Amino acid sequence: MDRAYLDHNSTSPLRPEVAELWRELQGRGLGNPSSLHRSGRDARHVIDVAREQVAVALGVDEEELTFTSGGTESNNLALWGTLEALGRDTRLVTTRAEHSSVLEVAERAEQLGTEVAWIDVESSAAIRLDSLQAAVAGAEGGLLVSTHLANNEVGTIQPLVAVREALPDGAVLHTDAVQALGRIPMSPRELGVDLASFSAHKLGGPIGIGLLYRRKGIQVLPRSFGGGQELGLRPGTESAAMIGAAGLAFELAVRDQAEFEQRVKALTDGLWTELSSNLPGVRLLGPEWGSANRLPNTLTVLLPGTDGKVLVTALDLAGCEASAGSACASGSLEPSHVLLAMGLNSDEARAGLRLSLGWNTTHDDCQHAVDVLRKIIASSHAT
């Protein structure tokens, strides 16, 4: 059975060029990048080239980049490392619509005594700037603000430039940009962020490699110890082959971003047109259709009388792969915390179906999803 893969916000399959490079590097017999012999120097060179590729792609300096194991580690390192660097009287400001790797850090930090101020979001998941201003007002110690650039569940793009402008001097701004890079134009410097998290496997790179951008002058303390790798911020022997493949994935994603956005937006437009025409009562979540404040590749919908996880299973059996909200929480019976933050009730927050497109998505993939959903809904109504 041909399978339609519409879960690129969860992970995007390896791009052929990246897979080829990864295989070549794995077969080269690279040594430990910290070793001084030839195999070690070869491995170090691969990492240096990858770091340069990413720096050029993002428009930043190489020493501002730290390779990690993925977006979750990057978010944890950014938040915990900055909180420790700023001191005990630091206020952490974030929303309840963040990825779990930010939300759970904030909740844990609050339990440990850190002052946490929660920003409200609109029904579209867009940050409320008035709530942000209230949350940062009167902070006497350090101030750390964290919000995603693009929401992983509904694709809402946050106004980070406006967020930066609303912050007092000295505030540290972190963004989870995992879902944004390669899908919309973005530059950490143009956005005015101090810290930004990325993940290679959302770009057609290998799973297990992420990145933390840290602007010069921003102090982040390490969360693990035992070596001087990654400028002492993330110790441990680096996987040179994976980092080399990830560097190429970053480069290609940024290079092809405009073409990707145009092609995938056309597919997503067509997919939503078909869904809204063929599925009575279907409801789109996130920003209004046609809004510039939504990712071009992401559709999250509610279908009357259905459950998101049931739909995912039925779609899978019919050869179409999608998600019920965030893949990181897909095994949970709990309602989506993102949809709850947006004002949906518990039943609605369990019912979201996310369709996310990527570099290898075709019109046939989208049409297959529509056909399968139409049959599922027709069958449920018949019973």
Which residues does the annotation mark as catalytic? 328
* 3-class SS letters over 226-250: CCCCHHHCCCCCCCHHHHHHHHHHH
CA distance linking residue 72 with residue 162, whole number of Å: 25
User: Which DSSP helix (H) or strand (E) runs through 54?
Assistant: helix 38-58
Q: Residue 75, Cβ neighbours under 10 Å: how many?
A: 30
User: Which DSSP helix (H) or strand (E) runs through 218?
Assistant: none
- Secondary structure of residue 358 in the 3-state scheme: coil
DSSP string, 309-322: HHHHHHHHHTTEE-
- Secondary structure of residue 229 in the 3-state scheme: coil
Please name every residue paired with 383 in a beta bridge, in sequence order, or none if there are none.
none
Give the distance from CA 97 to its chain's centroid.
13
Q: How far is CA 329 from CA 71, 113, 263, in A?
A: 15, 26, 29
CA distance linking residue 278 with residue 65, whole number of Å: 46
Give the distance from CA 283 to its chain's centroid.
23
